[in-house]
Amino acid sequence: MRLGVAGMIPGDFNVDEKLASRIAELGFTGVGAHWMQPPEALTATIRQRFRAVLDQQGIQLVQFWGMYPPIISPDEQVRRTGVGIVQEIVKLGADLGAAMIGVRPTSLNPRGDYWPHPDNYTPQTEDRLVRSLREIAAACDVHGIPIFLECHLTTTLNSPESVRRIIEHTESTWVKINMDPVNFVRDLDTAYHTTELIHHLFDVLSPYVASAHVKDMYVEDRHVVHISETIPGTGIFDFDTFFQRFEALLPDGYALVEHLPESQIPQAAAFVIQKLAELNIPIRR
């Protein structure tokens, strides 16, 4: 597999040679990047500079995200605005040379795209998500770049079965997923048996996997139930099974460390490199 990192690229894409060199020194050949401003602010000058700096270090922009209103909103104007912005993000990602475009299913909770809301799981919301993804996939047809879905149990993409159903209903070969098992840990039984969760996810979703995120998790000693992310190698996630299943499926695919402050990324990278060596899984460049 190939190794990448999400979280070291600033939201304004102000990447200099020093940062790019640091990413490469940690063993990463790919990055995930979030553009945190409106699409029109990502000018040609910024895009050219960004690509040039990464190219100097042989770093691939694997995953590219942007910001947009909810694409599952029952307000049709809001939904269409969100879809239109994602279509612009697809165009920008193609120009940046990204391998794929990240699409959040968003949430009906106004406080955040990944915060829960009871209506995230209704058939009507699922239908709106399918419609939005079909419209976004039309931009993929034009620009020749796939999208991948960021799944999470707090969103409409809350189980492997719902994810597969939604993808199949889009009737598009451009719609893929990012494999992130920690995002499906919903209770203590799942947390303590991640091996079973990993196998189930790969068994159901393998035809649609385009990349993976590398995270760990642990159960906090708090009431009622608190399950939190942590540095890979310091929690209870079954990385042996995860890496073996991903390597068997996508030996040239990217697995990206994410959701860590930069100060903790070296520890995560060292763990991943060591674990892959123990499993005799080669790191491809």
> How is residue 17 written in tokens?
């040679």
Residue 283 lies in a domain: no
User: Strand pairing partners for 60?
Assistant: 30
Residue 137 lies in a domain: yes
Residue 74 lies in a domain: yes
Single-letter amino acid, residue 263: S
Residue 225 lies in a domain: yes
CA gyration radius, the chain:
18
**20 three-state secondary structure:** helix
Residue 147 lies in a domain: yes
| Under-70 pLDDT residues of the chain | none
Q: Spell out a b/e string for 85-123, using b for 16 or more CB atoms within 10 Å of the CB, else e.
A: bbbbbbbbbbebebbbbbbbbbbbbeeebbebbeebbee
The pLDDT value given to residue 9: 98
What CA–CA distance (Å, rounded) separates 151 from 158? 7
What CA–CA distance (Å, rounded) separates 16 from 21? 9
What CA–CA distance (Å, rounded) separates 203 from 234? 26
Domain encompassing residue 189: 2-278
Cβ contacts of 226 within 8 Å, gap of 6 or more: 219, 220
- Whichever domain contains 184, its CATH number is 3.20.20.150
Tens of pLDDT along 58-81? 999 999 999 999 999 999 999 999
Cβ contacts of 47 within 8 Å, gap of 6 or more: 92, 95, 96
The total number of structural domains that make up the chain:
1
Q: What is the pTM of this model?
A: 0.96
